[in-house]
C-alpha cells in the first residue's frame, strides 16, 4: 500500500508542476478546506479557534488563526493533535526509551527539530504523511541522473529523530523506492577519516548533507583523500552561499542542488543547479512571507496540524516561475537570528543580512562567517581556497578594504572591521550545522 501511495504522490506532484498558477491555487484551496474541516472535528485546539473566528469554513484563511509557535505547541500539544491516544509526556518517554526506528503507538513517526532556534520540538506524522512530505522533491528534483538504481549517501545522524534521518530510513523501507534507490547514510558521529573511507567504499551517485559538511568533503576530495564521482550534490537544511556552491561544483564536477525543507514542512522547495531561485512547493504548503519571518500551513499533516506556523526563515520573493505555477524566492534563505542590527552615526538602526557580504568577497575566499563579541566591532573569519593559500595576505587585505568601503557607504564608518584567516568551517558536531552570524554581545551598539 505504501508503495502505491509513493508512486501516486510522485505522479500527482509531477502533474501539478505542469499546471498554470490558477489551477495550482485551486488545488491548494481544496486541500486547505479538507484540512480545515478535519481539524474542526478532530482537534480541540483548532475547533475552539474556528468557533471564535465565526466565519463559514469556506471563507476562513490561515491568517485568521493566531500565530502558532513552538511554545504554543508545547503548551497545547494534546489539544492540537487529532488522535486522542497521543499524549505529550508519552511521546517524550518514547523518545527517551525507544530506538528512533520504532513507531510511536505502532504507527506514528516522531520527528525532532535540531533546536537551532533554542526551542527544539517534536512533531508527529503518519507514514502516508511522510510520503506526501518527501514526494514533491522526488517529483521535482534534478532529472539529469540516468541510472537504473542510484546510491544515495546522506551525511548526518542516521539513527536519530532528526527529520532528514527519519524520512530517509522510512523511504528505505518502501519496496518500490528500494527498486530504484539504495540509501547509504553515513554518520558524522565518528572520526572524519572513517567518513571518507566509507564514502570511498560506497561510491555514491548522490551525495547529500548540510552545506558546511559538504565543504569539508570537498576539501578531502581536492586533497585526494576522498575519491568519489557523484552525479549530483544535494545541499539542504543550512544556508548555502554562492561561494560555497561554486566551490562544490568546481571540486566534484557535477550539479549542486539546493533544497529548502524543514522538519515541520518536509520538502518546501528546490533550487536546481541551473536556476537562480528556489521554487516554493505551494501545493504542499501555504506560505505567508513577511519581512522578518515566514509562516506556513502544512496541507498534508492531519495528525499534528500546523496552521499559520511561525518559522524564522526570511524569504525574498522574486515573482512567479516562468516554467511552473510556483512562486520563486531568492536562492539563499536566512534566519532571523542571523541578521545583525547596526547603528549609523545618526543613531538609525539598520539591518544588513550576511548574504549581502557574499558577493563582496574577493576571489579565493571559499566561505566566511561573522562574529560580534564586543560592541561596535565585527570580525569576519574567511576561509581561503587551498589553491590561493599563497595569496592569503593579499586576499585578507582586499577583504578588509571592500568591507570597510561597504560600511562607509552605509553610514557605518564607526564600526571596527576585523578580518581573520581561518582553516575551520566551525561545524557544530551536535547538529552538523554552522552559523554564518554569531553575536555574543547581549546589548550590541554597533
Q: What is the CATH number of the domain that holds 270?
A: 3.40.50.12780
246 and 389 belong to one structural domain: no
pLDDT band of 281, cuts 50, 70, 90: very high
Classify residue 323: in a domain, yes or no: yes
381 and 324 belong to one structural domain: no
Q: Which of 268, 301, 335 is the last residue of a domain?
A: 335
312 and 359 belong to one structural domain: no
pLDDT band of 41, cuts 50, 70, 90: very high
* Domain boundaries, position 419: 339-439
Classify residue 203: in a domain, yes or no: yes
Least confident of 31-35, 132-136, 368-372: 368-372
pLDDT band of 243, cuts 50, 70, 90: confident
Classify residue 445: in a domain, yes or no: no
Model confidence at 191: pLDDT above 80:
no
Model confidence at 442: pLDDT above 50:
no
The pLDDT value given to residue 244: 83
Classify residue 427: in a domain, yes or no: yes
161 and 278 belong to one structural domain: yes
Considering only residues 323 and 377, tell me which one the structure prediction assigns the higher pLDDT. 323
Q: Which of 290, 313, 335 is the last residue of a domain?
A: 335
Q: What is the mean pLDDT of residues 129-137?
A: 88
Classify residue 290: in a domain, yes or no: yes
Average pLDDT, the chain: 83
Model confidence at 249: pLDDT above 90:
yes
pLDDT band of 232, cuts 50, 70, 90: very high
Classify residue 444: in a domain, yes or no: no
The pLDDT value given to residue 131: 87
Measured in whole angstroms, the distance separating CA 105 from the mean position of its chain's CA atoms is 28
Classify residue 446: in a domain, yes or no: no
The pLDDT value given to residue 342: 64
290 and 148 belong to one structural domain: yes
Model confidence at 443: pLDDT above 50:
no
Q: What dihedral angle (degrees, nearest 10) is formed by the CA atoms of 301, 304, 306, 309?
A: -140
Q: Can you tell me the distance from the alpha carbon of 15 to that of 9, in angstroms, rounded to the nearest whole number? A: 10
Q: Is the separation of the CB atoms in 215 and 243 below 8 Å? A: no
284 and 362 belong to one structural domain: no
Model confidence at 439: pLDDT above 80:
no
Q: What is the mean pLDDT of residues 374-394?
A: 84
313 and 178 belong to one structural domain: yes
Residue 433 belongs to a domain with what CATH number?
3.30.300.30
pLDDT of 317-347, one tens digit each? 999 999 999 999 987 666 655 556 666 555 5
86 and 207 belong to one structural domain: yes
317 and 345 belong to one structural domain: no
Q: Which of 335, 360, 391 is the last residue of a domain?
A: 335
The pLDDT value given to residue 347: 58
Q: What is the mean pLDDT of residues 46-67?
A: 96
248 and 370 belong to one structural domain: no
The pLDDT value given to residue 40: 97
The total of structural domains in the chain comes to 2
Classify residue 285: in a domain, yes or no: yes
324 and 374 belong to one structural domain: no
249 and 389 belong to one structural domain: no
Amino acid at each position: 500500500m505504501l508503495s502505491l501511495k509513493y508512486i501516486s504522490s510522485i505522479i500527482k506532484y509531477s502533474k501539478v508542476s505542469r499546471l498554470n498558477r490558477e489551477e495550482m491555487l485551486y488545488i491548494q484551496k481544496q486541500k486547505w478546506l479538507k484540512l480545515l474541516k478535519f481539524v474542526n472535528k478532530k482537534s480541540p485546539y483548532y475547533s475552539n479557534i474556528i468557533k471564535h473566528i465565526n466565519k463559514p469554513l469556506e471563507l476562513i484563511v490561515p491568517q485568521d488563526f493566531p500565530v502558532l509557535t513552538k511554545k504554543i505547541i508545547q503548551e497545547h500539544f494534546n489539544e492540537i493533535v487529532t488522535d486522542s491516544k497521543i499524549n505529550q509526556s508519552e511521546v517524550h518517554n518514547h523518545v527517551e526509551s525507544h530506538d528512533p526506528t520504532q513507531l510511536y503507538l505502532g504507527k506514528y513517526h516522531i520527528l525532532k527539530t535540531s533546536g537551532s532556534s533554542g526551542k527544539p520540538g517534536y512533531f508527529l506524522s503518519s507514514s502516508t504523511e511522510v510520503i506526501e512530505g518527501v514526494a514533491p522533491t522526488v517529483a521535482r528534483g534534478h532529472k539529469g541522473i540516468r541510472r537504473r538504481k542510484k546510491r544515495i549517501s546522506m551525511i548526518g545522524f542516521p539513527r536519530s529523530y532528526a527529520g532528514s534521518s527519519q524520512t530517509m530510513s522510512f523511504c528505505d523501507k518502501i519496496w518500490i523506492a528500494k527498486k530504484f534507490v539504495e540509501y547509504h547514510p553515513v554518520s558524522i558521529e565518528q572520526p572524519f577519516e572513517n567518513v571518507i573511507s566509507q564514502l570511498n567504499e560506497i561510491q555514491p551517485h548522490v551525495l547529500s548533507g548540510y552545506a558546511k559538511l559538504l565543504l569539508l568533503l570537498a576539501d578531502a576530495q581536492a586533497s585526494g583523500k576522498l575519491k568519489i564521482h557523484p552525479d549530483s550534490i544535494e545541499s539542504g537544511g543550512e544556508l548555502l552561499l554562492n561561494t560555497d556552491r561554486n566551490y562544490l561544483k568546481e571540486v566534484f564536477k557535477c550539479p549542486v542542488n539546493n533544497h529548502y525543507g524543514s522538519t515541520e514542512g518536509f520538502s518546501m522547495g528546490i533550487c536546481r543547479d541551473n536556476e537562480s531561485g528556489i521554487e516554493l512547493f505551494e501545493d504542499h504548503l501555504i506560505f505567508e512571507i513577511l519581512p522578518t519571518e515566514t509562516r506556513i500551513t502544512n496541507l498534508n499533516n492531519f495528525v499534528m496540524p500546523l496552521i499559520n506556523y511561525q518559522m524564522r526563515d526570511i524569504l525574498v520573493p522574486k515573482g512567479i516561475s516562468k516554467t511552473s505555477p510556483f512562486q520563486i524566492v531568492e536562492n539563499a534563505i536566512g534566519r532571523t537570528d542571523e541578521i545583525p542590527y547596526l547603528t549609523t552615526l545618526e543613531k538609525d538602526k539598520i539591518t544588513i543580512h550576511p548574504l549581502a557580504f557574499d558577493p563582496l568577497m574577493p576571489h579565493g575566499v571559499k566561505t566566511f562567517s561573522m562574529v560580534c563579541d564586543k560592541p561596535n566591532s565585527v570580525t569576519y573569519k574567511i576561509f581561503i581556497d587551498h589553491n590561493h593559500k599563497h595569496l592569503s595576505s593579499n586576499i585578507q587585505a582586499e577583504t578588509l578594504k571592500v568591507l570597510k568601503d561597504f560600511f562607509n557607504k552605509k553610514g557605518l564608518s564607526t564600526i571596527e572591521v576585523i578580518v581573520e584567516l581561518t582553516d575551520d568551517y566551525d561545524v557544530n558536531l551536535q547538529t552538523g550545522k554552522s552559523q554564518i552570524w554569531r553575536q555574543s554581545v547581549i546589548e550590541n551598539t554597533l
